């Protein structure tokens, strides 16, 4: 059954005559996610995946394994199983309905050092639990760091036994350790992903790295201690050299000059905190003790926010790593005021900033005079897994903007339009960074330029149209 059928005809149907598909929330590759309802009118999310090959059996086994897990920082799985829709066999998994995702806030602004420390505590607890059970998370990234009520939780959809290869056809992603393409997943792979997530949380950028280089990624100088040291030790090309969870806790504990405030105390003092800058632990270096001009105020509690405005449906694309709402600003420190209520937020990418205007690549100063347009010297098109291609409904259009220096190299790339698919937008972004150009010329001198790449992904292939915008 074409996955478009699930979207168009699935709403209103029931799985096993008891799980209604109330609302289509989004898609993740070839899978679809709906809002459903459990007995007692409890809202839940249900992911539906058509059975197409043996990989579905392995996914279902891993879901069944994860269903038995019980940890306060893992998203709860109510059930999973097999069923049929319109005569086609599917597998499904029903979970708690998350409210927020870290993946939303990072396009708006980075986390402060104090916020990052608060975020790490439950993540480390969840990873320690999984690794102690002989399991790996397999997809640790901001999109999979979620909030239910007042608790931070990891999504459980990629959990699998350690020692196995990636249990899907997605291949290695932007947060995956280098060894995942060739060998089995180990707890060390989760530590690599944690290092990438820490850098992105603090800088809005993933660390610069060439996957096939055999070299460790560079941690930006802007990352404060102790997080720079943690990230550096997590991002070791050799898995055996990576930091352990115990070592991370030791680094955090040794750096903390003051204990984090308890939630109850922070919540009780939220109104007072709104009137003055939050004092951060002294050991956390930060240049952001006070909100920058134009930044939304950080001290309004999430509960007060919910009283002011109706809750939006959670965009499940972030939950499963596809394309989402604001991350819960944890433990009273992490409060965030909404300026608007978009139904779907743009995905995090390496060039996101707090001010949308700042995301625009800034071309180098240009000499005036007659101009000769630049040309494309090297195109790179991503390889789309067959399963992901089959999940495209019609087409997915993505726009990428490039800033190109006078040598023809890409110095910055940003997502202008994600086509409502974080997966394909990231594929386009990573490929665009590898493009090369014959530079434009002004008065015979090579000049920098700005390009727009219009990507069109279809089930039968990918097209890209480059357009030089400046000079």
- Is the pLDDT at 238 greater than 70? The verdict is yes
- Is the pLDDT at 95 greater than 70? The verdict is yes
Burial of 303 (0-12, 13-18, 19+ CB in 10 A): exposed
Q: Do 293 and 441 have their domain in common? A: no
- Is the pLDDT at 268 greater than 80? The verdict is no
Q: Do 242 and 266 have their domain in common? A: yes
Name the pLDDT band for 355 (thresholds 50, 70, 90). Answer: very low
Name the pLDDT band for 29 (thresholds 50, 70, 90). Answer: low
- Is the pLDDT at 290 greater than 50? The verdict is no
Distance CA 141, CA 319 (A): 10
Residue 68's domain is classified under what CATH number? 3.30.200.20
What is the pLDDT, as a whole number, of residue 171? 52
Domain end (from 296, 325, 354): 354
Q: Do 242 and 120 have their domain in common? A: yes
pLDDT tens profile 305-319: 333 333 333 444 444
Task: Yes or no: say if 343 and 334 are a contact pair by the CB < 8 Å rule.
Answer: no
Domain end (from 71, 96, 121): 96
What is the pLDDT, as a whole number, of residue 85? 85
Distance CA 214, CA 198 (A): 21
pLDDT tens profile 63-89: 999 999 999 999 999 999 999 888 889
Q: Do 193 and 163 have their domain in common? A: yes
Q: Do 320 and 446 have their domain in common? A: no
Q: Do 169 and 311 have their domain in common? A: yes
Residue 402: which domain range?
360-470
Across 252-267, average pLDDT: 50
Q: Do 90 and 221 have their domain in common? A: no
Name the pLDDT band for 184 (thresholds 50, 70, 90). Answer: confident
Q: Do 110 and 198 have their domain in common? A: yes
Domain end (from 354, 376, 409): 354
> What is the number of domains present in the chain?
3
Distance CA 353, CA 348 (A): 10
Q: Do 86 and 152 have their domain in common? A: no
């Amino acid at each position: 059954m074409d996955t478009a059928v699930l979207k168009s005809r699935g709403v209103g149907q029931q799985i096993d005559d008891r799980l209604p598909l109330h609302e289509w929330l989004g898609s993740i590759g070839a899978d679809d996610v709906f809002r459903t309802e459990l007995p007692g009118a409890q809202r839940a999310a249900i992911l539906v995946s058509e059975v197409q090959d043996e990989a579905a059996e392995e996914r279902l086994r891993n879901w069944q394994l994860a269903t038995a897990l019980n940890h306060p920082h893992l998203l709860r799985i109510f059930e999973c199983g097999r069923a049929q829709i319109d005569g086609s066999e599917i597998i499904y998994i029903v979970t708690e309905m998350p409210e927020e995702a870290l993946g939303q806030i990072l396009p708006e602004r980075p986390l402060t050092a104090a916020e990052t420390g608060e975020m790490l505590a439950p993540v480390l607890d969840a990873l320690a639990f999984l690794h102690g059970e002989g399991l790996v998370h397999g997809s640790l990234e901001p999109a999979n760091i979620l909030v239910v009520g007042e608790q931070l939780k990891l999504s459980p959809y990629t959990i699998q036994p350690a020692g196995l290869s990636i249990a899907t056809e997605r291949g290695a992603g932007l947060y995956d350790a280098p060894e995942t393409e060739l060998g089995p997943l180990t707890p060390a792979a989760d530590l690599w992903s944690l290092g990438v997530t820490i850098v992105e949380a603090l800088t809005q950028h993933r660390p610069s790295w060439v996957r096939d280089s055999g070299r460790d990624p560079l941690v930006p100088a802007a990352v404060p201690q102790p997080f720079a040291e943690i990230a550096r030790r997590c991002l070791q090309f050799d898995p055996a050299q990576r930091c352990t969870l115990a070592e991370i806790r030791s680094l955090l504990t040794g750096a903390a000059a003051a204990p984090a405030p308890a939630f109850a105390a922070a919540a009780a003092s939220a109104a007072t905190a709104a009137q003055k800058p939050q004092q951060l632990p002294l050991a956390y270096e930060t240049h952001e003790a006070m909100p920058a001009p134009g930044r939304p105020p950080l001290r309004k509690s999430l509960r007060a926010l919910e009283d002011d405005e109706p809750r939006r449906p959670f965009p499940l694309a972030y939950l499963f790593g596809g394309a989402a709402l604001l991350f819960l600003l944890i433990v009273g420190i992490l409060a965030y005021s909404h300026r608007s209520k978009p139904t779907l937020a743009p995905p995090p990418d390496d060039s996101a900033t707090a001010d949308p205007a700042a995301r625009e690549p800034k071309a180098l100063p240009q000499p005036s005079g007659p101009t000769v347009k630049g040309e494309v010297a090297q195109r790179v098109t991503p390889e789309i897994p067959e399963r992901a291609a089959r999940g495209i409904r019609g087409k997915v259009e993505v726009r990428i903007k490039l800033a190109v220096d006078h040598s023809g190299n890409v110095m910055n790339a940003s997502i202008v339009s994600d086509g409502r698919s974080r997966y394909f937008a990231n594929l386009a972004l990573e490929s665009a960074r590898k493009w090369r150009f014959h530079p434009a010329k002004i008065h015979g001198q090579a000049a920098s330029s700005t390009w727009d790449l219009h990507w069109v992904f279809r089930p039968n292939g990918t097209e890209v149209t480059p357009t030089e915008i400046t000079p």
